[in-house]
Amino acid sequence: MTTETQNKQFLLYIFSILVVFVAYGFALTNFTLTVDSESPIYPHSSLELGRWGTNLVRYHLMNGLYPFFTLLFGLVFLAITAVEVTKILNIKGVFSFLFCLLFLSFPQHAYQLVFTMQADAIPLGYFLGTVGVTFYLKESKTKIWKIINLVLTVIFIVCAVATYQLLVFIPVILYVIYFFTQIDKPEANIKQEFKKAFIFAGLLLISVIIYLLSVKLFIKTANSSYLEGYATGNLGNPFVAFYNLLVDNIYGKFYYGEKPFVVTTICVLLSIIYFIKDKTNALLKILIFLTLLIIPFSMSFFIRNGYHPPRLYVGSTLTFAFIIVFVLQKIPKQFYNQILFTGVLLYLWNVFFVTNLFYTQNQIFKHDLEIAKDINQKINQFEDFNPDTDYVYFYGSLPESNHVKLALPNSEVFAGSLFRWGEGDNWRMINFFRFEDIAYYRFMDDETSFNKVKDKFSTMPIYPEKGSIQKIENVVVVKLSQKKGFPRYDWEK
């Protein structure tokens, strides 16, 4: 590598870090306690989901989450990943900058990064999956080094999947894109590229098997009920359901911030026309681009409970950035200024959505804080209340109308309130009070005490009405709705 090339790559790293910092500037400078981040970090955190990679980062390396730094760490690794992808795909010059600009700002990332408890682990996993592809494609001078690179490929992909299972899509989609870049060359050896692809698919399968074995053999607390819950249900014909969902996604209508994806869909159509006119391997190229359009959303085909959070579509960021850049590369060089202007506009469009999402979540968080302070003030009015010996029990969850004016449409977790998420989780609410240093209530874990108050729930008014907070013997009950919340114990049901 020449000094000039090193300088250009260094500049691209700096550019990518600055770009992603600007995109998430509001989130970095306005800490918001988001859903799932209020719970203390325990030695077994994330292990029950089989995510020992996240546990390694969250508990063993970081020992908790930190305002600003946790997200900062994740953004830096996301920026490094973007540059690594440009190297794999051999995207050079101004187009490498455009790729990083689009990849790093696409709002789908936000739906992962909003979970502070994994805002560093997920980008790190993204990076590991990307590096796995790098090692596979690395040229080896000797047979020993080739074997070492293949082993490292498996190790890095296993670590990526162990961080977040759906990150398995990253090496898959990245390699499909790489495969396209290879057959798009005039001197392409199609047979050789298919051979390489099949070997990589085999390594990918080995990686998944090793991950599953690692969970089965070493993670005794792993529980598949959460993940299996997505596949439980009956919503009619799965092909029709997936088709409808796919159409919404490729039109950019499925979740807030996805609108720019319609540009990718348009670029796919333009590319198909280009492939037909060019004729060289046209059918294969068309199939690859259609695959890139569909595969990021393919996980939804297997979901039967009707819940499709945008964070599932981790590979859509690669599809979004690459296909747009591919089309821009076909524009004559005399239009470079217009190309750059188009890239900047798309970036600003993405940043607009990302900023709105985090601003909305911040407003809901502040609203929750005010409610928590009001509840605490009313609880402290009980002269005989002792937080060391008395329990506090939140019954139900606040209605959606409580914060609907602050929420954006189809923004999933960004519209979530700690007093509503998870159907009203008593454990979540207690931890929210503790994290924000409002109060350190005693969590209801005693069946005898619960039985003393359970018959009172139906007759109590709903918060904030008078009488919605009552102290009954050694239990303070805060009734948030008529419907009971998420039960932690069988005796709560």
> How high is the pLDDT of residue 235?
66
Average predicted confidence (pLDDT) for the chain? 93
- At residue 228 the predicted structure's pLDDT band, cuts being 50, 70 and 90, is low
Residue-wise pLDDT for 249-267, tens only, equals 999 999 999 999 999 999 9
**CB-based contacts of 478, cutoff 8 Å, min separation 6:** 375, 379, 392, 393, 394, 395, 463, 468, 469
Top pLDDT among 485 and 152 is at: 152
Tokens representing 130 are 């990307």
Instruction: Label residue 276 by pLDDT band (50, 70, 90).
Output: very high
Instruction: Give me the percent of the chain exceeding a pLDDT of 70.
Output: 97
Token pair of 492, please?
A: 């709560």
Under a CB-based contact definition with an 8 Å cutoff, are residues 354 and 105 in contact? yes
Residue 2: partners with Cβ closer than 8 Å, 6 or more residues away: none
Q: What is the mean pLDDT of residues 279-305?
A: 94
Residue 362 one-letter amino acid: N
Between residues 186 and 177, the one the model is more confident about = 177
- pLDDT of 233 over the 80 cut: no
Q: Cα-Cα-Cα-Cα dihedral of 421, 126, 310, 61, to 10°?
A: 0
Q: Parallel, antiparallel, or unpaired for β 442-443 and 469-472?
A: unpaired
pLDDT digits (tens, 9 = 90+) for 26-59: 999 999 988 888 888 888 888 888 999 999 999 9
Instruction: Give the span between the Cα atoms of 468 and 457, in whole angstroms.
Output: 9
Domain boundaries, the chain: 3-330, 358-492
Contacts of 389 (CB under 8 A, 6+ apart): 442, 474
Q: Distance between CA 248 and CA 251 in Å, rounded?
A: 5
Q: Please write the tens of the pLDDT for every residue from 201-219.
A: 999 999 999 999 999 988 8
Please report, for the chain, how many H helices and E strands are present, in that order.
Answer: 19, 4
Where does the pLDDT of residue 5 fall: very low under 50, low under 70, confident under 90, or very high at 90 and above? confident
Whether residue 220 has pLDDT greater than 80? no
Contacts of 437 (CB under 8 A, 6+ apart): none
* Cis amide bond preceding 260, omega within 30: no
CA–CA dist 55, 234 (Å, integer)? 33
What would the mean pLDDT of 123-143 be, rounded to a whole number?
95
Under 8 Å between Cβ of 287 and 179 = no
Give CA–CA dist 352/257, Å, rounded: 9
Q: Please, are residues 310 and 108 in contact by the beta-carbon 8 Å criterion?
A: yes
Model pLDDT for residues 306-316, shown as the tens digit of each residue: 889 999 999 99
Q: What is the pLDDT of residues 410-424, one digit of tens each?
A: 999 999 899 988 888
- Give the number of C-alpha atoms closer than 13 A to the C-alpha of residue 359, restricted to the C-beta side: 10
Contacts of 365 (CB under 8 A, 6+ apart): 32, 33, 34, 418
Distance of CA 2 to the CA centre of its chain: 37
Q: pLDDT at residue 224 above 70?
A: no
* 464-480 pLDDT per residue, tens: 999 999 999 999 999 99
Q: Residue 337 half-sphere exposure, CB side, CA atoms within 13 Å?
A: 1
What pLDDT digit, counting tens, does each position of 343-368 carry?
A: 999 999 999 999 999 999 999 999 99
Contacts with 49 (C-beta within 8 Å, 6 or more apart), sequence order: 222, 223, 226, 227
Sign of CA dihedral 112, 116, 121, 124: positive
pLDDT band at 104 (very low <50, low <70, confident <90, very high): very high
Answer yes or no: is pLDDT of 332 > 80.
yes
133 beta partners: none
Model confidence at 95, pLDDT cuts 50, 70, 90, reads very high
Residue 393 has pLDDT above 90, yes or no: yes
pLDDT value of position 355:
98
What is the residue type of 165?
Q
Helices assigned H by DSSP within 384-473: 421-424, 426-435, 447-453
Question: Which one-letter amino acid corresponds to residue 266?
Answer: I
CA 35 – CA 397 distance, rounded (Å)? 14
pLDDT of 378 over the 90 cut: yes
**The sheet that has 469-472: what strands, in order across it?**
442-443, 391-395, 475-479, 469-472
